[in-house]
Structure 1
């Protein structure tokens, strides 16, 4: 069995070593080698010398932040996955990090999600904490809403702009898969609830994304919420 190689990047040495230990001793990941770096610049050097399978990347760091490091690493090493792990959940950090090529975004106060997020990203899933998905969708809906039209309700009522256009016809299975995705479930969890294979779930979501004209899961959630196809679960009361 191949050894899984993970690089943990954070400027806080206590947190950095703690995360490395948490990953290293989790048996569900199999045999794992975990290295660390103190900032984005050191992470780039390590990836150049020996690219890992996945980088757990902080966002705000000295010398080179996680956004720039992610942009360079994913450009130079397309096979390397990046999972953002940070305290920041505002659009100022979330959107640029995902645009830079991160395959997932996790907040530091939800470290119990770290190993499941790593497994999801390594399985080519686009992992974003439900809390962060809520931030992205809320901001996207706000930014795209015409100023003279009423805001959508927190229950997910479609905007006036979206209501003017016919909804794409999703199959019942595609609609159900998107609904479970909006509640923060992984492919494996959706498969269990729908009693189908993980491959079927991936297919349902891919077809739904094609019909909605989206490229990733965040965009899929944004568009589905705009059209009133799903109600996003807002976990953070501040949203």
Structure 2
């Protein structure tokens, strides 16, 4: 299948890349070094989750520090570094640039970090759109005459060299500012495991990032019915 380079609207609510890693040194030391570098570099603002957190990033409650700029936010835990969009998706090319900036900042102060797993997850959101009408997917069970309007479907499978976790949520009721609406979600997580890659800006890491992004696109676009895809104004 020929994959579009761009669709409009893309409806991507969030994009998350997660590196499962081994710091090879105490996490508290790593966090302190990254925090000092972020302060000195002034590329990223940061918040301490134990203090008052700005409303737009309240979801970080419980994490010690969140670093962010106008495009992305990232945080470190003892076993992972996670980077995701600050508010809106900024295209893969710009997102990849931001990912490499974070890698460069961390690698500047902490070397020889090993990546064990890379995950790239895209969550697309569609208001008042029935997934049954736009996806090559049918949800049936023991009573074929019953049609499910609201449902959540989850599947894990191997695609090429990656583990895929696919979650579909159809017309889920959402209450926002006293306005009730139904929202559908297409959630695709592409995971490459058992890696031995250095957490630095190197060709092997960039190849894997491009690979998981390509798999992400292939899964997403192959799910769509052709007539729905055409409503998204695909550009090739």
The TM-score with structure 2 as length reference comes to 0.30
Pair member with larger Rg: 2
Higher helix share: 1
